[in-house]
A and B are shown apart, each in its own frame.
Chain A
Amino acid sequence: MGEVILKTNDLTVDFKVRKNIFGKADRLSAVQNVNIEIKKGEIYGLVGESGCGKTTLANAILGFVPITSGSIECFGHTIDAKTKASEWKDVRRHMQTVFQDPYSSLNTRFKVWEIISEPLYIAGERNEKLLCDRAASLVEKVGLSLADLDRYVFEFSGGQRQRIAIARALISDAELIICDEPTSALDVSVHSQICNLLLDLREEFELTYLFISHNLSLIKHITDHMAVMYLGEVMECGATEKIFENPACPYTEALMSAILEVNPKKKRERIILSGEARSPINPPDLCRFANRCPKACEFCQTSPLPPFAKLSEDHMARCHLNYK
């Protein structure tokens, strides 16, 4: 594992929501004080339920949403709320993304080679022959054929479309690929094809992935480090192996027990959480999971969330239970 290529320092993203045009704006806290470190060549997993801010965090890293406070250090730049668009462009060159739904992330009026080479076009390359050649050099690496370059996307199945999206992410020689639930819109029998493809490409192009998923069992198998998010805050982070061996936050435990086991020989205790996540609008300064936590005591309901406790090398959790 190499040096740290992306680091966030207390990254916070808030949105303003207004009930009506005269009312005072409420603060929707999407990402709150997130600190993650991604090392070169690893797969960093981000898990959590919908609405927990994992996609917003990825969007903030890519510059799609403005940062409210905190900063991102990546590829020799430090980016904060005041960074100008021109510097952003420099940084973003090193990053690419694969979206969840290949049915909506690909332009249906473009031919496949145009889709794949679009990042280069945006970067200023106008020579069609060169664009086409670059697309051709990648298309077989992602498991499509050269003849596919001249087709339109509607002719492809979900899995093939996702392959096109992956080729597009690779063409500009980005180092960090952000995969936002790349398999969840696909058929079950195609999941493993796409995962294996991502793993192969990582070795070939020495890529780093930020892998967002709500599927904990997938995260377990492919990631090196991971962070568990709940309502905008990272609850636990560290080496995947250590977190799975010894989950320190009750939310992580509950998530793990919610994985449905297929093997009928294995019996597992299941923790079924009651209730649902609280609203992210103007959240109180407490542990955000306290209202659903099966282990919460009165102390959790009344005192602010503690800082991260270092449980071992490469394993941190943010929970009152670790301080008792």
Chain B
Amino acid sequence: MNVLNIQNLKVLFRAGEGFVRAVEGVTITVGEGERVAIVGESGCGKSVTSLACMRLLNTPPAYITADALTFVSKDGKTHDLLSKTETEMLALRAEEMAMIFQDPSTFLNPVMTIGEQLDEVFIYHMKMKKKEARRHSIEMMKKVGIPDPEMRAGQYPHELSGGLKQRILIAMATSLSPRLLIADEPTTALDVTIQAQILKLISERCEKEKMSLLMITHDLGVVREMADRVYVMYCGKIVEEGTVQEILENPKHPYTKALVDTVPGIDERVERFVQIPKSVPHPMHKPSGCYFSNRCSYCTELCKKKQPPLRDIGNGRTVRCYYDAEELWEK
């Protein structure tokens, strides 16, 4: 059963005279207890997709449409996220679906202590008294591995390091054991050794609370570490979908292949790096036809004219390319 079901999601932003099509018909499903990743570069629409699911985009300037955007809560009810009012969404967020953001320092309120901010979750959603809420907060802080939680609860966000702040965010997001956890680049702002700690913590929490995970990242290493299934996005469209093992070992789309190839293995030293020419097109001036056509080394006339459809190639994999990968790589 799918916890989150996104069918043909489109998000437009009004920008000056025209529109920016940030997400163009994305279909993503997250099963129960499944760990799914969306991978792509900045501007590919991966964050907008997750924000649309949480209904955290202001409308306008954003315009969201979808054939279906449904979420199944713990009691088995199916919710249509697009038709919910803000009040109904408030009840759903944190209790049923929660999100961790990239930069913990902008997420936390600088004029409230860490303890107060954690307490809010319990006071608002569980209608607890202050003292009881604090007891739960401290308990949560222990669960996410914060040393000396009583002292930390009285501190303000600026007194904490980035890694600790991210732990606080994880504590907040997972305190009511939601059904779905969305993590939007949770380790990008952190150091490598702290990244290892945080990734481990997220997977532990997901396993323990039986949460589904939607991981948004640009790092294929994180994908490999954290996900079972992955969607590759480019310029607002999904270009490839499959299990992590399959995609990393045997990519079928030229973009995915290029991404995998640009990361050299650690064991052997390379003299030059494999590079993708040019850069990501401006969201208002995407190429006609296949969006990757101007950077693709296998591009043909057909690619420049018409956008390829998402093809099912069996084995639970889909790819947005006219050609079979085996033929392409031989060229």
Contact = CB atoms under 8 A, between A and B. Distances in A.
Contact of B192 (A192, A196, A216): A216
> Contact residue range for chain A?
35 or more
B266 A192 contact: no
Interface in B276-330: 276-277, 279-280, 295
A181 to B, nearest CB: 13
Contacts of A192: 262, 273-276
A221 B264 contact: yes
A217 B266 contact: yes
B132 interface: no
B193 A157 contact: no
Interface stretch (B17-25, B49-57, B133-141, B242-250): B242-250
A195 interface: yes
Contacts of B41: 187-189
A307 to B, nearest CB: 26
Contacts of B264: 217, 221
A221 B193 contact: no
A260 B218 contact: no
A189 B259 contact: yes
B279 A220 contact: no
A221 B271 CA distance: 7
Interface residues of B, number: 45
Interface string A260-281: 1111111000101111100000
B221 A187 contact: no
A214 B273 contact: no
Contacts of B295: 189
Given A49-B191, A264-B244, A275-B147, A259 B262 contact: no
A196 B272 contact: yes
A195 B273 CA distance: 7
22 contacts: A49-B191, A49-B194, A158-B279, A187-B42, A188-B262, A189-B259, A255-B193, A258-B192, A258-B193, A258-B196, A259-B192, A260-B220, A261-B221, A261-B224, A262-B260, A262-B265, A263-B249, A264-B244, A266-B267, A270-B196, A272-B200, A273-B196
Given A188-B259, A276-B194, 19 more contacts: A49-B193, A187-B42, A188-B218, A188-B262, A189-B276, A189-B280, A189-B295, A193-B277, A195-B273, A199-B272, A216-B192, A217-B264, A220-B266, A258-B192, A260-B219, A260-B224, A261-B221, A264-B248, A273-B197
